[in-house]
Amino acid sequence: MPEPAAGVLGTPGERRAPVVPAGVAALREQGLAVLVEHGAGAGARYADEEYAAHGARPASRDAVLAADLVLCVTRPPAADLARLGPGQTLMGLLRPDEDPEPLRAAAAAGATLVALEGVPRTLSRAQTMDALSSQASVAGYKAVIEAARAYDGYLPLLMTAAGVARPARVLVLGAGVAGLQAIATAHRLGAVVTGYDVRPEAREEIASVGASVLEADGLDAGGEGGYARALTGDERAAQRAALAGAAAGFDIVICAALVPSGPPPLLLTAEAVDRMRPGAVVVDLACGARGGNAEPAVPGTEIRTPGGVAVIGAGGLAATVPRAASEAYSRNITALAAHLLDGGRVAVDLDDEIQAGVVAAHGGRGRHPALSGPGAPSAHGAATAAGPGEDHGSP
């Protein structure tokens, strides 16, 4: 039997690498030959020669797509998914909830699909595999850097011969991984930081990283598994009204609230943004094809409102720090691969809590709700709705 192979696949337009050169050893230790698509690490400035020096073989995209285990960052194009078949496993941030049809087709063709979005985030032994958290941490850091770039003043308090420049007032909405990293980064840069979350336990975490806690609406929406419960319509309206009043007093607002499944919660209406002062900045980490936290935000775009507020749709910030993001992601995906492999082959065990979370399709049928077909029973069960505060990363 030939030696099983892992293929490291690049994604068009993606600067992050699924595996960095130093991560090749972890795959080889599992009994895998490692093929790396030519240029797969170029966006993060990893040359093919570096991979070869660590024991990988640079190869064509065709060869990588024929590997037993195909590793990617974000979902490959539909044409690549159509080439997968029985005996192959695709592993990455596959976004099964978005445009699921190409993934359904790959599942029906017999490919096993492993979505890192499904790593159980409250399970301690899965923490090394948690790509959503690692990428959210990178995005939270970069959100503050982007805000500082767009802001028309200083972040820290500065005392100069010409007078005193007051520090920027920063509000972070959502205290998941990205939000807490944004709070910590803004605090380190000298801003006066306030955080907001509907979960009581998150408010304690906000205070622990040096920020004040915004008690804007009196909501207590703690739920199970670290997520917030779904808000009622009246609660959502009260929340938006309270945040509109609060946001007007800040120079920078960073939005970092996502949910496990479904569109992000709308926290700042266009009217709320209009109430902010000219020169203020809003960075929306949740902004994407399914909406965002700030109503005026446009994915991948910085706009200036008629009132002079800069609004940055920043759902893909982790990819703009490709070296750090790649190093973290490489550790996540190789750790998960090691958990699924037995003698170099993927051995699916759906009784295992981690595998039950990440295996989106296996044996010719979808297991993730979005891939199991209309009306088909879901192997995963219904996801708990999360309010602002539980971010699931910005992959």
Active site residue 330: no
Q: Find the catalytic residue in 48, 68, 80, 130.
A: 130
Distances, alpha carbon 114 to alpha carbons 30, 275, 340, 367, 394, in Å: 18, 44, 10, 10, 18
CA-CA distance, 92 to 81, in Å (whole number)? 12
Q: φ and ψ at 311, to 5 degrees?
A: -120, 120
Active site residue 239: no
Angle at 72 between CA 66 and CA 75, to 5 degrees: 100
Active site residue 135: no
In total, the chain counts a number of residues equal to 395
CA 55 to chain CA centroid, Å, is 30
Angle at 194 between CA 190 and CA 195, to 5 degrees: 125
Q: Find the catalytic residue in 15, 16, 121, 203.
A: 121
> How far apart, in Å, do the first and last CA atoms of the chain sit?
37
Q: Find the catalytic residue in 30, 88, 133, 261.
A: 133
Q: Find the catalytic residue in 28, 83, 127, 275.
A: 127
Torsion angle of the four alpha carbons 274, 276, 277, 281, in this order, in degrees rounded to the nearest 10: -100
Amino acid, res. 85? G
Q: Find the catalytic residue in 199, 227, 239, 372.
A: 227
Active site residue 127: yes
Active site residue 130: yes
- Tell me which residues are annotated as active site: 121, 127, 130, 133, 227
